[in-house]
A and B are shown apart, each in its own frame.
Chain A
């Protein structure tokens, strides 16, 4: 259980175009989802936290108009990189928390997706 998928697993796009990445919780309801960015050989940087049905909360320094996050349902969150540029090339990872209360053994545990590698040419 507690599986999170991401789609696509990799994408190449041209500079100036927009790219949408999907994050789905497959077997649980994710009231909260997180988006991380990871540069090569570096740790994960939290970009934003999204709660189902409300606006995402962005970390300092993350442009909310560039990285649009939508969490319209309890199983789906999307990250849209608008007007992508080469510097947006990175590995994007989402995670989700189980909001059902069934998994009470670990407070605030997150389940991670496999990541999406974005390359902007």
Chain B
């Protein structure tokens, strides 16, 4: 069945460092792909999304490109801030329900 594999965390970076969080997926169809962010004690907020191969989702300096050939949707940001500290979830949806990765906790230190 459909599944998402995310890079193991936690990830700790210094402010202004480059961020990559790897995400790969397995799906029989053509899923839509998402990155969600969860701040402590809160629900999920959609960060970005892509619906087809080669689409690039972007928001708040974060980017991810839907790569069908490598079945990947890696999250990147060129310069992280302390306020980016949160848990990031990769997800796919090829059916009415959604499959999530395990989540990657990011801590950015000043």
CA of A114 to CA of B44 in the docked complex: distance in angstroms? Answer: 7
Chain A hits for B89, CB < 8 A: 43-44
Chain A hits for B51, CB < 8 A: 105-107
Q: Mark B13-34, 1 if CB is under 8 A from A, else 0.
A: 0000000000000000000101
A121 → chain B closest CB, angstroms: 19
A113 touching B98, Cβ below 8 Å: no
* Pair count A-B, CB < 8 A: 57
Give me 9 other A-B pairs in contact (C-beta within 8 A), A105-B51, A107-B32, A107-B51 excluded.
Answer: A6-B43, A44-B44, A93-B44, A95-B44, A106-B32, A109-B34, A110-B98, A112-B45, A113-B43
Determine, out of B68-76, B77-85, B101-109, the stretch whose residues face the partner at the interface: B101-109
Chain B hits for A106, CB < 8 A: 32, 49, 51
Give the A-binding residues of B (Cβ under 8 A): 32, 34, 36, 41-46, 49, 51, 89, 93-98, 100-103, 105
A60 lies within 8 A of chain B by Cβ: no
CA of A20 to CA of B46 in the docked complex: distance in angstroms? Answer: 26
A43 touching B102, Cβ below 8 Å: yes
Using A42-B102, A43-B89, A109-B32 as known contacts, say yes or no to A93 and B43 having CB atoms under 8 A apart.
yes
A108 touching B44, Cβ below 8 Å: no
A115 touching B94, Cβ below 8 Å: no
CA of A43 to CA of B44 in the docked complex: distance in angstroms? Answer: 11
B96 touching A32, Cβ below 8 Å: yes
Give the B-binding residues of A (Cβ under 8 A): 6, 32, 34, 41-44, 46, 49, 93, 95, 97, 105-115, 117
B27 → chain A closest CB, angstroms: 12
List the 9 shortest-distance A-B pairs measured between CB atoms, nearest first: A108-B93, A114-B43, A115-B43, A112-B44, A43-B102, A43-B100, A43-B103, A112-B43, A44-B100
Chain A hits for B49, CB < 8 A: 106, 109
A42 touching B96, Cβ below 8 Å: no
Closest chain B residue to A46, Cβ basis: B97
